[in-house]
Amino acid sequence: MTDSVPPESPVQVASETAPAPRGVAVIEATLATLPLAPGVYRMLDAKGNALYVGKARLLKNRVVAYTQVARLPERLRRMVSETVAMEIVTTHTEAEALLLESNLIKRLKPRYNIQLRDDKSYPWLMLTEDHPFPQIAKHRGARTRKAGYWGPFASAWAVNQTVTAMQRIFLLRSCADTVFAARSRPCLLFQIRRCSAPCVERISQADYAALVGQARAFLSGHQGDVQRELAAEMEGAAAALEFERAAALRDRIRALTHVQSTEVVNLASLGDADVAAVWQAAGMACVQVFFIRGGRNNGSRAFFPANARNEEAPQVLAAFLGQFYDDKPPPPLILLSHALPEQDLVEQALRLKAETFGRNGRVELAVPQRGEKHAVMLHAQTNAREALERRLAESAGQARLLEAVATLFGLPRRPERIEVYDNSHIMGTNPYGVMIVAGAEGFTKGAYRKFAIRGPVTPGDDFGMMREVMQRRFGRSLRENDDPDALPADWPDLVLIDGGAGQLSAVREALAEIGAPPVRLVGVAKGPDRNAGREWFHTEDRAPFQLPERDPVLYFLQRLRDEAHRFAITTHRAGRSKALVRSELDEIEGIGPARKRALLNHFGSARGVGAAGLPDLEAAPGISRETARRVYAHFHPDAHLAP
C-alpha cells in the first residue's frame, strides 16, 4: 500500500503491508523487505487506523526493536499486540522523514503518539500593496493578496491590539477598499486621531506613503529609528511654528512609547523568535509558546499535548515542535526550556520547512542559560506551570462533579463519556439533531456530531427526529464494532436527552429496535415556565425528580444541556442559511455561482428569471444564447424552441 506524499517533498515511496498475522509476526514479516534507509513507518490496527507513526535514520535497525517485546514498556507492548499491518515510506534524508512524521501525526492522530491539539489558524497582520493608499488589517487563511504579512499572532485579541496601536502611531486606514471608495467625508476614526483620512484627500499620497514606510520599519523591528525620525519631525514642526502638527507628532511619539513600554521583559534584542517552554505535573504536560516578532510580543498560548503521560519533557518538546511548525514558518530563533534529544536534526528539519515558506533557511534552536533570553524563557516556563496548575484544578473539580453524577444516576463508575442530544427546527423546516460529548477534560468538541434529519418524519415530530438520530448514531457504532463481545470504543456511559418522558420512551424504543446493549438514559425536561433551576430528571427506574436550585451537579448538567442547545441552534441556523441562498436556479445544469449571480442581479429574483422571456434572458449580461435557452427550457418544459 502506497502512502500519499506532498508533491514538494522529494521522497521515494516504498510501502509494505502485512495484513496478518498479528503483532511481532507482522513486524518480522515487514522486516524482510525493509531497507537500510531513512523513512517513516506506520503501525495499523484491524480497522486500518494508525496506531503509531515513527521515523528512523535506518528503518530496518529501528523497526527491529519492536520485535523484542520484553524490552518494551507496557504502552508499546499493547501497541505491538494491536498491530495487524505496517506501512513504510522511505525518504532521501532523516530530516525529511522527521517532517513527514510530524505531518502524519497531525493528520492521522495515532493514539500512541504525542499529539498537539491545535486545529486553529493563526491571525496575521496585513499591510496591503495593491492600492495607492495601503490598508492595515487582520488576516487569516491563505495569503493570496499582494501584501506584506507580519505574524503569526497568538490570538485575534493580540493582532487587534497591534492594529489599534498602528492606527494611533501611523494613522493608517483599516477600512475595506469598497468602504474607502464610497466615503465622501471623514469617518469617526479621523475624528479620534486614528486615521489620516486618505479617503477624502486629507493627506497626499506621498505623505501617506511615508507613514506606510514608517509602519513597515516599525513592524520589521526598527522602532528606535522610527522614534528618532518622529522626534526630528516634531522639532522641525515646532521650529517652523507649526504647533498643531508638532502636537500631532507628539501624540504619535507617546503612543509609540506606550507600545514599547508595555512589555514585561525587554524583547528588542530578540527580533523574530518563538519561545517554547514545557512544564510537567501529575501525568500532564503544558507547552507555553510566546510569539515575538520585530522585538514585540505578539501574544502567547498554552498547549496541552495528548498522550504525553509517560514521556520526558525533551521528548514532549521535540514532538510538539515538529507538529506545531507543520503548517507555519518557523522564525530564525526558537528558545527552548530543554535541550532536545536530536536537536541538530530538528534544526535541519525546521530549516527545510522555512524554505518551503519562501524564507531563508536559518533556524537556530537554543536553550539560554543567562541574560535576557534566559529571563524570557523562565517567564514562559512560569506561564506554562501556572496554566497547567489551572488545568489540573479544573480537572479535579470536573472529576468530583462526574463522581457526583455517577452517584445521582446510579452508574457503576465515574462516567468517562457523556453524550447529550437535542433537536432544532422551525415549524418542522430544516430539522437537525445534534450530539455533544463531555468527559473528564470538559467538552470534547472533536466528537460533536450533526444529523440532518432525512425522514420520513412528520414536520415538528420531535419524537420521530430523536428516534432517527439514535438509530443512526448507535446503529453505525454497532456496525463498525469488530468485537461483538465488547462494547464499541465510543460507547457512552451516560446519555442525556433534552426532553421528558416522551423523548425518553422514543429513545428507548429506538435503541431496542437496533438491538443496542443497555446504556443509562436520562431525560432533562425544562421546569415550570422553562425556568433554569427547576428541571425535572426522568430515568427508567425511578420517579421524576428535581435537584436543589444551588446544587453544583445541577449547574453541571445545565451546562451540558445548554451546550447541546447552543450547538443545535447554530447547526440549524447554518443549515437554514444554506437553504435560503439556494434557489431553483441551482437545479439547472450549467448554472454556476457566477451565472446565477448575473441572472439574479439582472432580474431581481429567481421568480423574475422564471417569468422572463427568451429574448430577455439572451440579453442578460454574461448569459450566452445556449445558457438562456437552457434556463428558459427549465422554467417552460412544454415550450418548443427552434434550433
DSSP string, 279-308: EEETTEEEEEEEEEETTEEEEEEEE--BS-
Q: What is the mean pLDDT of residues 261-288?
A: 77
Residue 638: exposed, middle, or buried by beta-carbon count in 10 A (0-12, 13-18, 19+)? exposed
The per-residue pLDDT for 600 is 76
Please give the backbone phi and psi of residue 450, each rounded to the nearest 5 degrees, phi first.
-115, 145
Q: How does pLDDT run across 325-361, given as a tens digit for each residue?
A: 988 889 999 999 999 999 999 999 999 998 888 777 7
The per-residue pLDDT for 294 is 79
Separation in Å, CA 50 to CA 42, 274, 528: 6, 31, 50
Please give the backbone phi and psi of residue 438, each rounded to the nearest 5 degrees, phi first.
-135, 155
Compute the distance between CA of residue 170 and CA of residue 163 in angstroms, rounded to an integer.
10
The per-residue pLDDT for 133 is 93
Compute the distance between CA of residue 56 and CA of residue 68 in angstroms, rounded to an integer.
17
Round the average pLDDT of the chain to a whole number and report it: 83
Kind and range of the H or E element at 223? helix 223-239
Answer with the residue of higher pLDDT: 276 or 193: 276
The per-residue pLDDT for 119 is 60
Whether pLDDT at 81 is above 50: yes
User: In degrees, to the nearest 5, what angle opens at C-alpha 215 toward C-alphas 170 and 164?
Assistant: 50
Whether pLDDT at 366 is above 90: yes
The per-residue pLDDT for 15 is 40
Q: What is the mean pLDDT of residues 124-135?
A: 89
Residue 559: all three cell numbers together: 451546562
Separation in Å, CA 570 to CA 193, 435, 465, 489, 575: 39, 13, 18, 28, 9
Kind and range of the H or E element at 248? helix 243-261
The per-residue pLDDT for 161 is 78
Which of 287-291, 398-402, 585-589 has the weakest average pLDDT?
A: 585-589
Kind and range of the H or E element at 140? none
Q: How does pLDDT run across 162-201, given as a tens digit for each residue?
A: 888 788 888 889 898 888 888 888 888 888 888 999 999 8
Compute the distance between CA of residue 219 and CA of residue 213 in angstroms, rounded to an integer.
10
Q: pLDDT band at 437, cuts 50/70/90? A: very high
* Most confident among 73-77, 217-221, 391-395 (mean pLDDT): 73-77
**Coil, helix or strand for 471?**
helix
Compute the distance between CA of residue 395 and CA of residue 350 in angstroms, rounded to an integer.
34
Long-range contacts of range 571-574, CB-CB < 8 Å, 24 or more positions apart?
571/424, 571/432, 571/434, 571/450, 572/424, 572/425, 572/426, 572/430, 572/431, 572/432
The per-residue pLDDT for 634 is 79
Q: What is the mean pLDDT of residues 602-623?
A: 81
Kind and range of the H or E element at 48? none
**Is the whole model's pTM more than 0.75, yes or no?**
no
Residue 232: exposed, middle, or buried by beta-carbon count in 10 A (0-12, 13-18, 19+)? exposed
Q: How does pLDDT run across 506-543, given as a tens digit for each residue?
A: 899 999 999 888 899 999 987 655 556 678 999 988 89
**Coil, helix or strand for 640?**
coil
Residue 226: all three cell numbers together: 522610527
The per-residue pLDDT for 638 is 65
Compute the distance between CA of residue 519 and CA of residue 511 in angstroms, rounded to an integer.
9
Q: Which of 285, 314, 289 is nearest to 299 (CA)?
A: 289
- The sign of the torsion formed by the CA atoms of 366, 368, 374, 380 equals positive
Domains of the chain: 23-108 (3.40.1440.10), 124-261 (no CATH), 271-293+302-389 (3.30.420), 418-479+489-570 (3.30.420.340), 584-635 (1.10.150.20)
| pLDDT cut 70: percent of the chain above it | 88
The per-residue pLDDT for 615 is 83
On whether the CB atoms of residues 598 and 590 are closer than 8 A, the answer is no
The per-residue pLDDT for 260 is 52
Please give the backbone phi and psi of residue 497, each rounded to the nearest 5 degrees, phi first.
-120, 130
Residue 555: all three cell numbers together: 449547574
